[in-house]
Structure 1
Amino acid sequence: MFTYFPRWLKWLESWRSRAIAMYLGILLAIGLAVSLGVFAFMHVAVPNTLTITSGPEGSSFNRNAEKYKKILARDGVTLKILLSDGSTENLKRLTSPLNAVDVGFVLGGEVKETKVNALMSLGSVNYQPLLIFYHGKVRHFLSEFQGAKLDIGAPGSGTRTLSLELLKANGIEPTGESSFIEVDAKDPEKDLKDNSVDAIFLMGDSTSSETLRRLLRTPEIHLFDVSQADAYIRRIGYLSKLVLPKGSLDFGKNLPSEDLNLIAPTVELIARDNLHPALSDLLLEAAREVHSGPGLFRKRGEFPVPLEHEFRLSPDAARYYASGKSFLYRTFPFWLASLIARALAVLVPLALLVIPGVKIAPAIYRWRVESRIHRWYKVLLDLERDVFASKTPQRRVELLRQLDDIEASVNRIVVPASFGDMFYGLRGHVDFVRTRLKAEQVPLSGEETA
């Protein structure tokens, strides 16, 4: 073989082979991605079952969960409802990996030392005002309940959690002079009339308007006016101040007879952070349908609302509050939107891989074909320089023989017709070097006399 096929050319050929192998590896990776995408498409779908932890039977939490269930059923999603003792138990279930719970109602103030990194809020859905009914003389401050018998709700309820915090802030502890009842009042009016208790702490959303009217009509029973409400909401960040307007329960009898200040945590719809975005949208649609109407303690359209207290707001919920349901779920039925979303989840990443690959493939192919031709120009240049440096006829004869070998190798190159101009250009340059070599050739001894 001729000597003008140097080592660097062999190395370059090897490097190009490695580059081609690398490109084939990329194509193989894309093929694997396609396979995984198809597998994901066939086996992963939006869940059609959710589990919610609600509250005691008959409570507002449980009633709202039942409404959610009917609304979600329209889109083919089954909502399983788990009864609980209340907000505290709901939070325990949501934070425990042993409980298969997706979402639940949690009152503000429940977190305390609980780790809630894996939970997120879909927003606040209602106020839950604390109503304190008591008998006897009018009291202006919670500290005046020192030494009284207090029904503050059953253990595990949000009522009890909030009541304990407020009473503690006023120096009233379970181990002090006051006695705390451990069960929920079945008939608060009777308990107060019979002096079984001095005061009953109730959550407004769980207490019917009729019960409120009866209690306010009863002589010597009062609804506590939280005159220090502004101070409470500044010290306890998850509380809000509400006003029960004069006459709002009974216009004719003017119940209550004056505006009453109340304090209230908000009820948040809390979910685990792996909740599917489509289900997040469905839950918020249900929440809007259930909670957006007017009520005794809320205005029309006030809830749901993206208030952040102790839980971070879900990114999907933030997007929903900003722009509503996503285009797919706003345009198509849930099942079809889910199918399209799954297809896009596979096809979009795949397109991001394949499109650049398709664009670069012709360039790599062109580079590969051109490299078969261009590499010979270096050989021709080196040989041509040697022609001018050679002084002996024998050396020039050897160079001419090597040029014949180069030409034979060039003629064996296989290129597409679209690269014919480059190929014939190379052959023309080989002939050009041969012409220059023959022009410089000196007759050998013995040929001079011929």
Structure 2
Amino acid sequence: MPRSHFARDHARRVLHDLTWSVGPLIVASALAIALVVWLVNPAPPRSIIITAGPPDSSLYQIAGEYAKVLARNGVALKVLPSDGSVQNVERLLDSKTHVDLGLVQGGIATPQQAATLMSLGSVAYVPLVVFYRGKGLTLLSQLEGKRVAIGREGSGTRTLSLKLLEANGITPGGSTQLLSTDGLDAATQLVSKEADAVFLSGDSATRTLMLRLLKVPGISVMDFNEADAYTRLFPYLDEIELPPGVLDLGRRIPPQAVHLISPTVELVARTSLHPALSDLLIEAAQEVHGKAGLLQRAGQFPSPVAHEFPISEDASRYYRSGKSFLYRALPFWLANLADRALVLLLPVAVLIFPALRIVPALYRWRVRSRIYRYYGALIALERGAMHLSSDDERRALLVELDDIEASLDTLKLPLAYTDALYVLREHIGFVRSRLSTAGRRDKQTV
């Protein structure tokens, strides 16, 4: 019968058991953490890019104010000049530009374009103000056949003006002459009678410029009596009102309330924007836009009311409940670190709790399996004793049994399993007794 061999370095075997019992848990936890870091909760970038407007525009100045707030929290916001809202949307849709967010006037994007981006909220009104020569103008359709300045190419003012004129039956190429001027240039054309009407919006419709135009004899501002209808037909528009005297209380300018229609500027981002940065940007918008102004009340902006772009889930959560406890109590960088740590602990916890039951059972099985190997050898010896044909075979079995018992002298087991070791020794003694009985019986037979 071949001689069984048992390892003598049992201290190494104990370490081996621990490694194979706990090792899979450690590997699984590491893989789960890596997967969460990669897919679920990556660290926010330390630098992002916003596309704003021309360097002398209010949009560019607003983005600069955002940059100051983000800088206090260790995030660099690079402000990228642009021609206006149209180019801002184009950049956001073009992955090659690496732009993260932009300031976009309502009415610029198509429904298909808007569906691929998300809004962090509306931040300001950009009312459309129509000045014209004469009096009593209440309908845009009354501009048919006149010279109308609707804004420069690529501007949000021009895009919105074309949509509103088209709704009133006026399209490019018709009898109405559409001039590509805005701001002071358009106002100058109106005063010099080179234009019959001008569309002013955003930076063009400044308080100073509107006062100057209303002081010119023969120039009036259009009162949108159908403002409510425009807001129904164009969901991105709001109806706002210039109260009497809001431009000049002393001279009561305007003399009566003027109804206007206005899109809003939305803070639009790509869907890949990190949630922590979303909160930080809305907080910056609250600081920049939260004060009362000529067209808004204190706290009116930023607003989560959806206009053209869908409000992101992170923005909705922020408007509903504000910043989380960690971000309220800790600096941004520390709160972000703690928040990520909590997320990383989740997959570990999911693995640890079942492992608290599985790992001890696995370790117990591995330790007992070494004892069971000895029992396999004992069974083989006992069966061999039943078929002995000579005294030499019995002595060979006894030598094998001595080898097994000698191996037990160096076997190291945890104290909780020493009872199995002593039971094994008793069984070795039982097999030895059977072999000795078989030897005496053979001698008596002889």
**How does the TM-score come out when normalised to structure 1?**
0.78
Query: In structure 1, the residue corresponding to 2:444 is in which secondary structure?
Result: coil
Shift of the 63–443 alpha-carbon distance from structure 1 to 2, 3 Å rule, reads closer
Tell me, in whole angstroms, the C-alpha distance in 2 between the residues paired with 1:225 and 1:103: 35
2:308 aligned partner = 310
Q: Decide which of 392, 400, 404 is 1:409's aligned counterpart.
A: 404
For the residues of structure 2 that align with 1:367 and 1:323, how far apart are their CA atoms?
51
2:124 aligned to which of 123, 126, 129 = 126
3-state secondary structure, aligned to 1:240: strand
Rounded Cα–Cα distance in structure 1 between residues aligned with 2:441 and 2:361: 49
Q: SS of the residue aligned with 2:184?
A: coil
Question: Is the CA contact (8 Å cut-off) linking 2:172 and 2:178 kept in structure 1?
Answer: yes
Displacement of 1:245 in angstroms is 2.3
Indicate conservation of the 8 Å contact 2:183/2:204, yes or no: no
Cross-structure match for 1:8: none
What's the CA shift string for 1:147-176, capped at 9, x where partnerless?
A: 111111111111111111111111100111
Aligned residue number for residue 320 of structure 2: 322
For residues 409 and 438 of structure 1, do their structure 2 counterparts lie closer, same or farther at Cα, with a shift above 3 Å needed? closer
What's the CA shift string for 1:88-119, capped at 9, x where partnerless?
Answer: 01111222233242221111121126645653
Report how many aligned residue pairs link the two structures.
429
* Corresponding residue SS for 2:124: strand
Judging changes above 3 Å, is the alpha-carbon distance between structure 1 residues 147 and 31 closer, same or farther for their aligned structure 2 residues? closer
Q: Secondary structure at the match of 1:233?
A: helix
Find 1:247's aligned residue among 231, 234, 245. 245
Contact 1:54–1:90 under 8 Å retained in 2 = yes
* Structure 1 residues 44-64: Cα deviation after superposition (integer angstroms, max 9, x where no partner): 965443322211233221221
Which stretch has the larger CA shift, 334-343 or 183-192? Answer: 334-343
Flag the 1:384–1:378 CA change in 2: closer, same or farther, 3 A.
same
Q: Give the corresponding residue for 2:52.
A: 54
Q: Distance in 2 between matches of 1:68 and 1:361?
A: 52
Greater mean alpha carbon deviation, residues 277-286 or residues 80-89:
277-286
Structure 1 residues 301 and 99, CA gap change in structure 2 (3 angstroms): same
Q: Indicate which of 157, 160, 170 corresponds to 1:159.
A: 157
| Correspondences of 1:85-100 after superposition (within 5 Å) | 85-100=83-98
Give the alignment of 1:63-82 within 5 angstroms.
63-82=61-80
Answering whether residue 259 of structure 2 is matched by residue 257 of structure 1, we say no
- Report the equivalent of 2:219: 221
Matches within 5 A, 1:5-404: 24=23, 27=26, 46-112=44-110, 115=113, 119-204=117-202, 206-337=204-335, 360-374=358-372
Distance in 2 (alpha carbons) for counterparts of 1:115 and 1:443: 98
Range 123-132 or range 374-383, more displaced: 374-383
Relative distance call for 1:19 and 1:328 in structure 2 (3 A) is: closer
Structure-1 separation of matches of 2:198 and 2:95 = 35
Matched-pair contact (CA < 8 Å) for 1:383–1:399: no
Verify the 8 A CA contact 1:59 1:206 in the aligned structure 2. no
Does structure 1 conserve the Cα–Cα contact (< 8 Å) formed by 2:21 and 2:362? no
**Preserved CA contact (<8 Å) 1:2 1:406:** no
Aligned to 1:254, the other structure's residue is in SS state: coil
Say if 2:149 and 2:186, in contact at 8 Å, map to a contact too. no
1:193 partner amino acid: V
Q: Please, which runs of 5 or more residues in structure 2 have no aligned partner? A: 5-15
**SS of the residue 1:163 aligns to:** helix
Deviation at 1:425, TM superposition (A): 1.8
Q: Which moved more, 1:291-300 or 1:116-125?
A: 116-125
The one-letter amino acid of 1:416's match is L
Alignment of 1:411-450 (within 5 A): 412-413=407-408, 414-418=411-415, 419-431=417-429, 443=441, 447=444
1:14 is aligned to none
Cα deviation code 1:28-73 (max 9, x no counterpart): 6767889x79x99xxx965443322211233221221232233333
| Equivalent pair of 1:135/1:220 in contact (CA under 8 Å) | yes
Match of 2:11?
A: none
TM-score when normalising by structure 2: 0.79
Query: Tell me, what secondary structure is at the counterpart of 2:220?
Result: strand
Q: Quick check: 1:373–1:423 contact (8 Å CA) kept in 2?
A: yes
Shift of 1:178: 0.5
- Sequence identity, in percent? 45
In structure 2, how many angstroms separate the alpha carbons of the residues matched to 1:259 and 1:170?
Answer: 24
Amino acid of the residue matched to residue 88 of structure 1?
V
CA apart distance, 1:435 = 6.5
Is this contact kept in 2: 1:229–1:262, CA < 8 A? Answer: yes
Structure-2 separation of matches of 1:262 and 1:383: 103
Distance in 1 separating the partners of 2:115 and 2:395: 80
Question: Is the partner of 2:183 in helix, strand or coil?
Answer: coil
Q: Are the aligned partners of 2:148 and 2:197 in contact in 1 as well (CA < 8 Å)?
A: yes
Change (3 A) 1:385 1:409: closer
* Structure 1 residues 261 and 383, CA gap change in structure 2 (3 angstroms): farther
| TM-superposed deviation, 1:134 | 1.1
The 1:356–1:411 alpha-carbon spacing in structure 2 relative to 1, beyond 3 Å, is farther
The answer to whether the Cα contact below 8 Å between 2:118 and 2:271 also exists between their aligned partners in 1 is: yes
Instruction: For residue 300 of structure 1, give the secondary structure of its aligned residue in structure 2.
Output: coil
Helix, strand or coil at the partner of 1:412: helix
CA deviation vs aligned residue, 1:280-310 (integer Å, no higher than 9, x gap): 3332222111111112222111111223333
Q: Secondary structure at the match of 1:98?
A: helix
Go from structure 1 to structure 2 and tell me whether the alpha carbon gap of 1:273 and 1:417 turns closer, same or farther (over 3 Å shift).
closer
Q: Distance in 1 between matches of 2:428 and 2:76?
A: 79
Deviation larger for 20-29 or 235-244: 20-29
List per-residue Cα deviations over 1:396-445 (Å, max 9, x = no partner). x989986985685366252414111111123334545676899999955x
Contact 2:187 2:198 in 1 (8 A): no
